[in-house]
Every structure is written in C-alpha cells, then in structure tokens.
Amino acid sequence: MNALFDPRYLTRNILIGMALGGVIGTVLNQMGATAENPGFIAGELFQFMGDVFVRSLQLLVVPLVLLSLIVGTASLDDVRKLGRIGVKTLAFYVGTTAVAISIAMGMAVLFRAGAGFQLNLESSFSVQDSPGLRTVLTNIFPKNPFAAMAEGNMLQVILFAILIGIAMCLAGKPGQRVLAIAQDLNDVVMKLVVVLMMAAPFGVLALVGKTFAVQGFSTIAALGQYFFLVLAALLLHGFVTYGIILKVFSGLSVKRFFTQMRRVQLFAFSTASSNATLPLNLENAEHNLGIKRSIGSFTIPLGATINMDGTAIMQGVATVFISTALGVELGVSGYLMVIMTATLASVGTAGVPGVGLIMLAMVFNQVGLPLEAIGVILGVDRLLDMVRTAVNVTGDAVVSTIVAKSEGEFSQEIFDAEEPRWEERA
Ligand code: ASP
C-alpha cells in the first residue's frame, strides 16, 4: 500500500493508474456509458477527480511561466544572447512542424487515405477567421500585464516576463534584490509541481477512465484507416524524427532522453493538454533533462504555446483523407498550401483538448474543403488528441535540449543521472 504513495515509484504508479483507468473505462462503456449518459462513476466521480487534478496544475501555469522566465532572463550573463536563442528556437519549432506535416501528408498520400470512404456530411462546423499578421504581432504586446495573466494569454505573459527580466539585468542592485526574491518564489512554485504530481496516478486514472467510458471503440472501427494512419505518423515523428534531430543536433543519447521524458509524456497523454502539462515539462526540463533555467524557462512555455507538431500531423492526414474521400484533387500547390496553413494553424492552436480540430477548419477553408467534413473525424479525435499532445510536448523538450546544448546551458550530469528521489526535487 505504501508503494502507492512512494515517490520513487511515481512513473510506475502513473502507468498503473492509466491502465486501471483504461480497464474501468472500457468496462463502464460496455455496461452502457455514453457521452450523454455517462453514469455516476464516469460522469461524477471521474469527472470530479480529473477536473480537480487538471485545474490544480493549470493554476501553476501563469505563476510558473512568469517567475521562471523572469529568473531565466535576469540571470543570463549577456542579454544579447536572448535574440540568438529566440531565433534559433523559432527556427527549430517551425522547421520541425513543417517536417511533421510533410511526413503526415506523405504517408496519407502513399496509403491513399480516404479512397473509397463514404462521406456523410451532416454536422456543422464554423470557421474562425484568421487574424492578419499585424494584429497577431500587435497582440503579443500586453496593454495590461495583469489582464494578460488573468486571461492566461501566454504570449503576452512571456513578453512581459522577458522585458522585466531584461530591466532587472540592467537595474544593478535593485535588480539583484528582486531577482533573489523571484528565485525563491520560483523554487516554491516548482516544489508545488512536485507535490501535486503525487496525486498524478489518481488523476490519470480518472481522466483516462472517463475518456474510455464515454468514447467507445465502434467509431474507431469505422474510421480505422484514418485513425491508424494518424497514429502511425505521430509515433514515427514522435520517436524517429525527434530521435534523429536530437542525435544530429546535440549528439545526446536518444534512449536516455526518452527515459527522462516518460512521465511528461504519460501526463500529456492523459490530460490531452499541453497547457496543463507545462508546469511538469518545465520542471522536468530543469531537473531531469539538464536544461538550464535560462533556456528552458523561455523555450518550453513558448513551445507549449506555438509548437504543435502532433496537431499539424493530424491536420495533414485529415486534409488528405477528406479531400480524397470527396474526390477533390488538391494538387501539389494545394498540398503546399496545406503545409503552410497547418504550420500556422498549429502555432495558433491553444494547448487545450480538442482545439486542433477547430483550427483544422482554418486549413479546410484555405483549400476549399467543406467544413462539415470535420464532423466525420470528430468521433475518434479524443484518443488521437491524447497521443498528439504527447508528441507536442516532446517536441518542445527536444528543441529545448538542442538549444540548451548548443548554448552550453546544459548539464550532462543531470541528463545522465538516474532519477533523484522525487520528494527531493526542486
Ligand atoms: N490538445 C492539444 C494540445 O494541448 C492541442 C490539439 O491538437 O487539440 O497540445
């Protein structure tokens, strides 16, 4: 019984929680639970446990991003480094997303996704107008930092934190004093991440249990080709592409990297939210991957906001699948257009469950596919969302590791270390 709460077994316990959730959820589903009528266990108990767990991690997102980024920026020995880190990080984020979607579309074309599939267009989906570039850029600048924090507008919070960090760097003694306080506060909030993770096995059990109870697998059978293609592309990108990129650009051990990332991936899978996973990814980057705070505090939150390779993969396969099923020829220029729009759409996708599908409307709109078709793949989206979120957060960590290594802001010792006791972290 004690082992259930022993932090040394946390990863194992999360896995057990996940498996138990899967089994209980499937049983409930077989006993007749549906999304409309989930019953007490899935609809009340699991829902309650899952909500409380996810909300308690979400509450850490804004304070943690703000504090760690202020500390990270203020402790840079040279503020000019920031520009170089920024350019490098953005280049990797956009580059990996473009590779992801190209793989997805390549596989979908190769396997003739959607050929012979009968489309039944009845549900309605509306498109969000994409704002112009000027509006997007203007909106990164917060008018009121408190409003930005209250709304959870991450890009605005990131910019505010960087500016304050730079000012602290330049302010001499007062800057040093504020930095010491921010450092202490940051350590306290990080500690809270560790404390809350103790509840992860139970939270994960509830989240997975609820999903499996109301999902049902019959939809997967009907959309098997689409489902397994997206899954295969996600796994290929998540393990092979990232493995190659990590090896080529950092020379680090790929196996070690994935061992150190296990818990973050499991957590992203269960919550289907990059945002809720952000505190853990940030903590893990520093204490398990050896990424120094000066880099991780910037690259990880930025990635959680704009880097969504898994989402782009789903969008790539979905576009080919639907266009082929409808007999619409997109042609090379159409495909290039999809690569561009899906890359941008994944930048604009918020890290919460299911948003990728909403942003797919933007891609469909761009290439003239009917938005109602999105309803067709809705039924299998939740499970794919779980996997693509795990890919999304892994991408953030891969790029952060590469950037940290190239800047010399990386600790090989932490990267190589067997896990420190969980309660001693932070
Ligand atoms: N759930 C995904 C995430 O949080 C976004 C999506 O593709 O829907 O990363």
* Residues in the ligand 1 pocket, defined by CB under 6 Å: 272-274, 308, 311, 349, 351-356, 385, 388-389, 392
Name the one residue in this structure whose structure tokens are 């109870």. 213
Per-residue pLDDT of the chain in tens (426 residues, 90 and over written 9): 566 666 677 888 888 998 999 899 999 988 888 878 888 888 889 999 999 988 988 888 899 889 988 988 888 777 778 889 989 999 999 999 999 999 999 999 998 888 877 776 655 555 555 566 787 778 889 999 999 999 888 889 989 999 999 999 888 899 999 999 999 999 898 888 888 888 889 998 999 899 888 876 666 777 888 999 999 999 999 999 999 999 999 999 999 999 999 999 999 999 999 989 999 999 999 999 999 988 999 999 999 988 999 999 999 999 999 999 888 888 888 888 888 888 887 776 777 788 888 888 888 888 888 888 888 888 788 889 999 999 999 999 999 999 999 999 999 999 998 765 555 554
Residues 6+ apart with CB under 8 A from 261: 284, 288, 289, 394, 397
- 63-103: pLDDT as tens digits: 988 998 898 888 877 777 888 998 999 999 999 999 999 99
Structure tokens at 51: 């909500």
Name which residue sits closest to atom 3 of ligand 1, judged by CA. Answer: 351
Q: What is the pTM of this model?
A: 0.87
Q: Can you say how many angstroms the Cα of residue 126 is from the centroid of all Cα atoms in its chain? A: 24
Q: Exposed, middle or buried, 412 (CB in 10 Å: 0-12/13-18/19+)?
A: exposed
**What are the tens digits of pLDDT across the range 372-405?**
888 888 878 888 999 999 999 999 999 999 999 9
Helix or strand (DSSP H, E) at 333: helix 331-348
Best of 278, 311, 362, 381 for a ligand 1 pocket test (most atoms within 8 Å of beta carbon): 311
What DSSP string describes 64-77? HHHHHHHHHHHT-S
Tokens of 90: 């953005």
CB 166 within 8 A of CB 155: no
Supply 343's token pair: 């890359």
Q: Is 320 within 8 Å of 113 (Cβ atoms)?
A: yes
| Dihedral sign (CA 345, 346, 351, 357) | positive
User: What domains appear along the chain, each with residue ranges and CATH number?
Assistant: 2-424 (1.10.3860.10)
